Structures are given as C-alpha cells and as structure tokens.
Amino acid sequence: MFKKPSVRDKENQRDQKGTINANVGEGAAVSVQLPAKNPLVEGKAGYGIFVKKVTPLTTTAKSTVPSKSTKIRDSVQNKKEHKEPANTKTQFKEISSNATEKKEKTLNTDGDAKKAAIKIEKKEKKLWTLSNFDIGRPLGRGKFGNVYLAREKESKFVVALKVLFKQQINECKVEHQVRREIEIQSHLRHPNILRLYGYFHDEVRIYLILEYAPNGTLFKALQEQPLKRFEECQSAIYIRSLASALQYLHGRDVIHRDIKPENLLLGHKGDLKIADFGWSVHEPNSLRTTLCGTLDYLPPEMVQGKPHTKNVDLWSLGVLCYELLIGKAPFLSSAYDDTYKRIIKLDYKLADHVSKAAAHFISKLLVVDPEQRLPLDKVMIHPWIIAHTQ
C-alpha cells in the first residue's frame, strides 16, 4: 500500500520528512566498474562501515571530531584527472587548536587546484583519517548527519566532508542505501555530477569526501529570485546541463530516482551538479519496484506501484523544468491525496508568462506512458533548449 508522506508546506519548503522511504530492502546495485571486493563493507570483522554496537552520539559540531579515528583505504582507484575551475578563491574558515578561537583564511585555488585534486584522488596507498583535514563551518544538515567545509592539510584542497552517523543509519535500516550511494557516486566522472573523491570511517561515523559546490543548492537559488522563479534562458541552461548528466548516468545503467532542486548544487560559476545519490540504483536489465523520492516529483508509474525504468528521471526533468519556470512543482497540493490524484490525472496548468516552446517541452516530458516521454537525445535538440543555450 502506498505510504502517506508529508508534502511541502505553503512556503514550498522541503526537508527530509518530505521523502518517501518505502521498500528499502531492495538489493544493492553494483556497477560493473566496481572492484571485486569493496574494502568499505567487506573488510575483516569489526572493520566494516556498519557495526552492531556503537558508542553513544551527540549531534553537536564538536562531536564530529573523534579522539581516535579508524583508518581504512581510500575508495578511489585509477582516477582520471579532476578539472577544477581556475582563477577562483574560496573563503575558508579554519577551526584553530583553541576551541574558542577561529581564524579566517583564504585558500587560493588558482593553478594548484587541479594538482591538489589529483593528489587527493590518488591517495589509494595512504590511509585516510579525520586528522588529514582541517574542519570548517557547517554547510548543511541531513537526516543521518551533517556536511562541513573542510581542507585537506597536505594539498590545501577544499572539499565538503559529509559526516554520517552509523547509529542513525542502522536504526533506519538503510545501510545498503549508503553503501550503494558510495559505490555508484565514486565511479562517476561528469562536469555536472558532484565528485566523490573518497571515504573513510571510525567507530561512530562515516565520512564522504565530496567536491565543494560553493553556491549551494538550486532550491536556495530559486527561492532567492525576486519572483521565486528563473527566466527561461537560465532555466534552459540548467535543464540542458541536467539532461547531459542524465545521459551519462543512463548510459552507465544508473537511475538517479530523486531529481529535485534540493539535490542539485551550483559550482563556483553557477554550473549545475547532481548530488545525493542515496536513491540511485545501477540496474541494466530488470525493472524496479521500490517507491522512493519526493511525492510531488514522483511519476504516475511509481505512485501506482508499477515497475519503473530510467524513464522516471525524464518525468522528474519535466517537473523540475516546470518548477524553475513557475516557482512550484506542477502537482503540489495542500493535501497528499490531492497531489496523488493530480499526478495520475496529469492535472497541471501553466502560467501565461511561459512561452509556447517551453510549454511544448514540458508536455513532452510529463507523459503518463513512460515509453512516450521525450528521450534525452531529443531533449538536447529541442527548439526551446537550442534557442536559449546556443
């Protein structure tokens, strides 16, 4: 039976409570590129990521720096060069040895950034620990932990350190989901996909070393617009970037399944990057049946409990395009049942300011029959996309 999730309130704010977490017992999907053994989860007894007993946790920022860190090998092997944008400066707040004293430092990433990124990636023969990083200000909070600005001490390379609490992961029984997120994201290489450089863990926490996107989420940028929406030109640029990233994912049999503004980050030049692969799956052959994602972005086949394919991402692309142009999702209602019915009936309306070309583009993606949705190669050459991106 379809579980009733909470829906965004009238201010259009979304959080972890707006996410559907049903049927997470689905088998982990492993990419063909993955090593035969994952040191993260297949190590000796007591050294894997997930343990049955963990020490009590506190959720303060101070608790994210344990006194002793268990070392494991970095996940990233045989990496290609990571191209970091040049001529940029990132403001970095470093926590000094004195807990009451904080100093502002500026990290100049010009020129040496690419070498620093490569050095981080190729650290497979060295063991990562928390002591390798200076920890800075918090960047965000999630259901299972927090994200902090951090800097690798040796290379001075700035990253985002995602800290997950094992106890919360175990209690919610989503170990396989975290494992799958790491397995998939660590092997992806695309300019519009957030990089996962590596990972390590201790007795209490799991640490993901992620690319830092200084301009925050697309949702935040959308809310900061004067009319709470983007112009068509900017919207088309974002949609084309996302379509390019989805082409890359689908070409590797990866379905994201949770495309929404909160899971899209903006780089230092405003370039869009897909993040948060917690609901992603690698599935080259069979259909999927897991109900996952955010209600107002779910396609009809999901809310009806039918098997789904990679075409669920095409529906989400259409919903996102609508939200960027209008300021809210097309099927969003105050009540869950109303949202459900509107998705099934394809009940949405476009505002007068939306051009005919944009309306046509959206209508080709928001199609009840998954096989009739506009494929990504056609998305890239749609007249509305071409008109605003070339």
Q: Which residues are catalytic?
A: 258
Looking up tokens 């903006």, which residue turns up?
266
Confirm or deny that 263 is annotated as ligand binding. yes
Backbone angles phi, psi at 172, to 5 degrees: -90, 0
Largest CA distance in the chain: 62
283 vs 1, 250, 286, 310, CA distance in Å?
Answer: 24, 10, 7, 9
Q: Which amino acid is at 333?
A: S
- Give the whole-angstrom CA distance, residue 354 versus residue 384: 11
Q: Are 260 and 294 in contact (CB under 8 A)?
A: yes
Find how far residue 171's CA is from the centre of its chain: 22
Residue 205, both tokens: 């926490």
Residue 179, both tokens: 């494992």
Which residues, 6+ apart, have CB-to-CB distance to 62 below 8 Å?
99
Whose CA is closest to 297, among 265, 342, 335?
342
Q: Which amino acid is at 388?
A: H
Confirm or deny that 212 is annotated as ligand binding. yes
- Give the whole-angstrom CA distance, residue 15 versus residue 117: 31
Which residues, 6+ apart, have CB-to-CB distance to 20 below 8 Å?
3, 5, 291, 292, 293, 294, 295, 298
CA dihedral 123, 128, 130, 134 (to 10 degrees): -10
- Give the whole-angstrom CA distance, residue 197 versus residue 311: 28
Which residues, 6+ apart, have CB-to-CB distance to 321 below 8 Å?
235, 239, 358, 361, 362, 365
Cα Rg of the chain (Å, integer): 21
Confirm or deny that 340 is annotated as ligand binding. no
Confirm or deny that 276 is annotated as ligand binding. yes
Confirm or deny that 52 is annotated as ligand binding. no
Looking up tokens 């983007």, which residue turns up?
230
Confirm or deny that 262 is annotated as ligand binding. yes
Backbone angles phi, psi at 151, to 5 degrees: -135, 125
Annotated binding site for ATP: 143, 162, 211-213, 262-263, 276
Annotated binding-site ranges: 143, 162, 211-213, 262-263, 276
